[in-house]
Amino acid sequence: MKEKVVQDIYDKLVSLGFSPVKGGDSDVSVVEPALNLKLGFAPKKMSFEFTVLVNEIDKAIYFYEMANENNPIFASKAGLPTGIKSVSRKVKGSFTNEAGEIVKYDFDLGELPKIIRAIGEKHGYMARKVTRKASAQYQ
């Protein structure tokens, strides 16, 4: 059962244009160092991290997400560190994946928790967002 839940999450992330990785410290993880923000007139980049752990004992899907806007010019003028929490969650652009194919993406990162919850309901699992990355990883 767990494998089916993990596969559904993996397939959905691939369909959105991500390059998820199965295994390692968690069941599924995504690390995107440079997504293009959709809003605004100046080009801005966002780093994004998404980690999912499916727990069969608790019948729960634990997920962690972190998005940081990478805008060193704005941050330095405001006296902030170069990676600040992003206000925008809408991203659009394209990148070349490991197979050499050009992948286009255009979506709202705020939809990911809803997608994880829907997959969890489909399989009888509860989806829970966690605030620590370690909570969505194997201990």
CATH at residue 130: 3.30.310
Residue 31 or 51, more confident:
51
- The region of weakest confidence among 15-19, 95-99, 126-130 is 95-99
pLDDT tens digit sequence for 97-107: 667 777 777 77
How much is the pLDDT for 104? 75
Q: How many domains does the chain have?
A: 1
How much is the pLDDT for 122? 94
How far apart CA 33 and CA 51 sit, in angstroms, is 14
Q: Looking at the predicted structure, is the pLDDT value of residue 81 above 50?
A: no
- C-alpha Rg value of the chain to the nearest Å: 16
How far is CA 55 from each of CA 2, 29, 43, 66, rounded to the nearest angstrom? 8, 15, 39, 21
The CA-to-CA distance between both ends of the chain, in Å, stands at: 21
Q: Read off the pLDDT band of 80 (50, 70, 90).
A: very low
How much is the pLDDT for 67? 80
How far is CA 112 from each of CA 18, 40, 41, 99, 105, rounded to the nearest angstrom? 12, 22, 25, 25, 14
Main-chain dihedrals φ then ψ at residue 11, nearest 5 degrees: -60, -40
- DSSP three-state, residue 18: coil
Q: What is the mean pLDDT of residues 118-123?
A: 94
How far apart CA 85 and CA 76 sit, in angstroms, is 14
The mean pLDDT of the chain is 79
Q: Read off the pLDDT band of 43 (50, 70, 90).
A: low
* Residue 8 structural domain: 2-136
